[in-house]
Amino acid sequence: MNILHIDSAITGDASVSRLLTAEIVAKLKAGRRDATVTYRDLAEGVPAIDNDWFHAVRQSPETPTADQQALIDVSDRFLAEVKDADVLVIGLPIYNFTLTAQLKNWFDQIARAGISFRYTAEGPEGLMKGKRAIVAYAAAGTPIGSELDFASGYIRHMLGFIGITDVEFVPADGLAFDRDAGLARARTALDKIAA
C-alpha cells in the first residue's frame, strides 16, 4: 500500500490537522510491512497557477523553454505522487471558512485534462480511480458540513472530479470552544476507519 501524506497547515507543531494526519498514517501502516509513505508538506510552498503556467502546462508546447519545463516538472511531480498512491491522507485545516491557499494551489496543479480527468460527451470523467482519500478536517469554529464550511464539499468535489470517490473525513471541529472534545470526536471517527 502506497500512502500519500499531505499536510498544509501553517501552524507547525500546534496544528491539529497535522496531528491527525500523522495518526491516520500510523493506523494505516500498523501491521502492514508493505506500506510506503510519500510525505508532501504544502506549507513549504505550492506555486499558484498563472498565465505562464497555462502556456507551459495546459498548452504543452512541443519545445518548452527552460522556464516552461520547470513549471511542467513541478506539476508532473505532484501528479506522479497522486498516481502512485493507493491512499491519500490529506490535512484540511480551515482558515477563514475554507481550505488553505496551498491546498487549493495543489488541486490546481493536479487538475489536468487528459491526465487526471478527461472530458466526455457525458461530462468530465476522473482518471485517478481506485484510490481512497482520508481527510483530517480541523477547525476552530467552523462545524463540518455547516453553511459556513466551504472546504469539505470542495475537497470531496475536487477529489471526485479526478476520480477519487472513496472519501472519508476525520473531523475535529469546535476546537476554539473545547479542544479536547474536538479531538475526541476526531479520534472516534478515526477508530471507525478501516486500516
C-alpha cell at 194: 478501516
Contacts of residue 106, Cβ cutoff 8 Å, sequence gap at least 6: 6, 8, 42, 46, 78
Q: Report whether 102 contacts 148 (CB < 8 A).
A: no
Q: Report whether 101 contacts 47 (CB < 8 A).
A: no
Burial class (CB in 10 A: 0-12, 13-18, 19+), 183: middle
Helix 16-29 crosses helix 179-192 at what angle (to 10 degrees)? Answer: 20
82 is in an annotated binding site: no
Q: Report the DSSP beta bridge partners of residue 78.
A: none
Residues making up the annotated binding site are 15-17
Residues making up the annotated binding site for FMN are 15-17
